[in-house]
Amino acid sequence: MNEAVAMKKLFRFGLVSGLLLLGLLVIAGIALKVYFNEERLRSLILPPIREALGREVKIASLQIDLLSGVKVAGLVIKEADGEADFVVVKEFSLGYSLWPLFGKRLEISRVRIGQPVIKIWRNREGLYNYSDLKFLQAGSEEGAESGLQAPVSDEDTAAKVSPAALPLALVVQHCEITDAILSFHDELGEFPKIDLEANLKSRLDLGDLRPESINVEGKLDFSLTAEYHSLTPKVQGTVEFDRQKVIYRVFVKQEHEECTISGSVSDYLAAKPAIILNLDSPRLDLAYLAALGQQLSAAGGSGAKPAQEQEKPGKIAKPASVPPSPPPLTADGVLNIKQAVYENFQVENFSLQYHYEDALLRIKELKGDLADGSFAAAAVIKPFLSQPEFQGDFSFADLQLSALMAMAAPAFKDNLGGAGHGQFKFSGRGAQAASLQKSLSVEGEYGLRRGGLNNLPLTRNLAQLLGLPELENLKIADLTGNLRLKDGQVNLNNAWSGDQLSGQAIGKIGLDGSLDLPLHLVLSRKLSAKMAQRYPWVKESFNDDEEAVVDLGLAGTLSKPRLRLDEKKVQKQLQKKLEKKILEKLAEKLADKEGESSNKGGDVKPEDLLRQFLKE
């Protein structure tokens, strides 16, 4: 019975307290509206804002409510001339929750900024339209009053650096910026013209302002157009973020070129963030992009150096620049381009996978389809040395020479044929052509199947030298070889076979195109017989299979090759052939004379035998 009475009293007390609290809130809200009417709010808020900015500020309407919060419409900040608009905000509203205040927690339920428009520009004197804002000028004047500053104690420094903790936690449950527009224009033309539209939704928990207590998350959607000389990119993207990670996806289009850049940044507040950067594109014209880059570089560096910066005669050259420090991060990603184009070259299904960590860039896999064949490569690069170092391997398979020449030199697309393959290892250091030529090292094996050399300067010279027009179009059944590039020289060793001729080439080709390549050729029986009809001495070079063996020397350059008969080797070959015949004749005569002497019963003297052979 007593418990029931106590419960009724408690219920009545709670009901009365609630009604009183509600009544107080209603009275406070009415009083707030009566006291803080729109005119009074304008007189309280606008003067300090105008004073801080040094600009004319207008507000179309302003309301404050104890329960619903603050609403501002038509906020306008004028330019210095008082006519043009600098910042326009169509709507601003802020709502908060009262109950969390009792738990020392300021909880803002919503912040909404609707259709803000910000216009930034730079005039011909190089001054920005925000440069004369009063609070910015005040900060610069305080820092440059006398150039001398009073010594600052450690306690003062610590007080300035260490943020004071808030007496209550601050949480913004929902922050939204809709249809924001930012534009930038440079009358000097040194920076691109930019128009940006964005929408932001986020949640912010500042805690007590200590870094470890701050938490934020949200999503940003944006669209950007820019104009700078011939560069007119359009960019659309999405960024999602929280305290641990940022995830992004951006679509970029420049005329007919387009790509998607995506990835993430993890632990971006840590000492070593982890970055993922991927690129996907259906088609990229690399020559077009390179030309754009050159135009931008020329536009950015077209200004002449000031007189005091121009080099004077006899001035001591500056020491070589120190290589940049490697960034403290890790990076991974994949580049996928369905079709990469550079002038006449086309690579299909291009893919590159990379990893960067501790100043080391690893190209895990680079592959693509080229000239009806394929290629693959991998490399390790140390890019932050004064002379960057690299090493790796490269291979290709089923590379069609005719298709490759159609890209590299269309005039010769019908002159070379066959399917090439090869495997190589390479290493070197440096980034300039001169240093690379000295340090580059390549070693590997290569081959060619069903090859053809048709109507080339080399084959025409060969056909003219040997008197065999058939060799102007040379067919190669199979070619194998190896090469070694070192100290600017390519050492070749290859051999080939074919219906017309077989052969071997062992020599050198310089990176400057110079040739020093001895050729050892073996003609087919048909061509050997035809050549012997024109040059009877060729019969003396026949091997046991009645094939002519010819030694030539290839000199000159790759663009202007010169073929010549290797006279020393020919003389040596003929001499050996003659010696062999002499020995064979001697052996025959010796056998005959031995038979005669045995019949006659006398010995044959060697000098008589030799004298008789020479006489015959």
pLDDT in tens, 130-146: 988 888 876 555 545 54
Paired with 551 in beta bridges are 520
Higher pLDDT, 163 or 235: 235
Q: What local confidence, expressed as pLDDT, does residue 44 receive? A: 76
d(CA 548, CA 521): 8
| pLDDT-derived band at 589, boundaries 50, 70, 90 | low
| pLDDT-derived band at 9, boundaries 50, 70, 90 | low
Closest CA to 520 of 554, 546, 489, 479: 554
The pTM score is 0.77
Question: What residue type is assigned to position 415 of the chain?
Answer: N
The tokens describing 414, both together, are 């019908």
Q: Are 540 and 531 in contact (CB under 8 A)?
A: no
Closest CA to 508 of 557, 473, 564: 557
| pLDDT-derived band at 305, boundaries 50, 70, 90 | very low
Q: What local confidence, expressed as pLDDT, does residue 605 receive? A: 54
| Nearest-10 crossing angle of helices 38-53, 134-143 | 40
The string over 467-494, giving b where at least 16 C-beta atoms fall within 10 Å of a residue's C-beta and e elsewhere, is: ebeebbebbbeebebebebeeeeeebeb
Q: What local confidence, expressed as pLDDT, does residue 134 receive? A: 86
The tokens describing 124, both together, are 């011909």
Q: Find the mean pLDDT for residues 253-281.
A: 94
Contacts of 460 (CB under 8 A, 6+ apart): 472
Paired with 195 in beta bridges are 183, 225
Q: Find the mean pLDDT for residues 158-174.
A: 54
Closest CA to 257 of 289, 222, 225: 289
Question: What residue type is assigned to position 113 of the chain?
Answer: I
| pLDDT-derived band at 592, boundaries 50, 70, 90 | low
Q: pLDDT at residue 6 above 70?
A: no
Q: pLDDT at residue 583 above 90?
A: no
C-alpha distances (whole Å) from 261 to each of 196, 226, 239, 335, 430 are: 18, 18, 12, 9, 30
Q: pLDDT at residue 258 above 60?
A: yes
Higher pLDDT, 569 or 276: 276
Least confident of 439-448, 450-459, 579-588: 579-588
d(CA 517, CA 555): 7
Q: pLDDT at residue 534 above 50?
A: yes
Coil/strand/helix, residue 540: helix
Please tell me the number of Cα atoms within 13 Å of 231 on its side-chain side. Answer: 19
| pLDDT-derived band at 392, boundaries 50, 70, 90 | very high
Cα angle, residue 47 at apex, residues 44 and 49 outer, rounded to 5° = 105
| pLDDT-derived band at 12, boundaries 50, 70, 90 | low
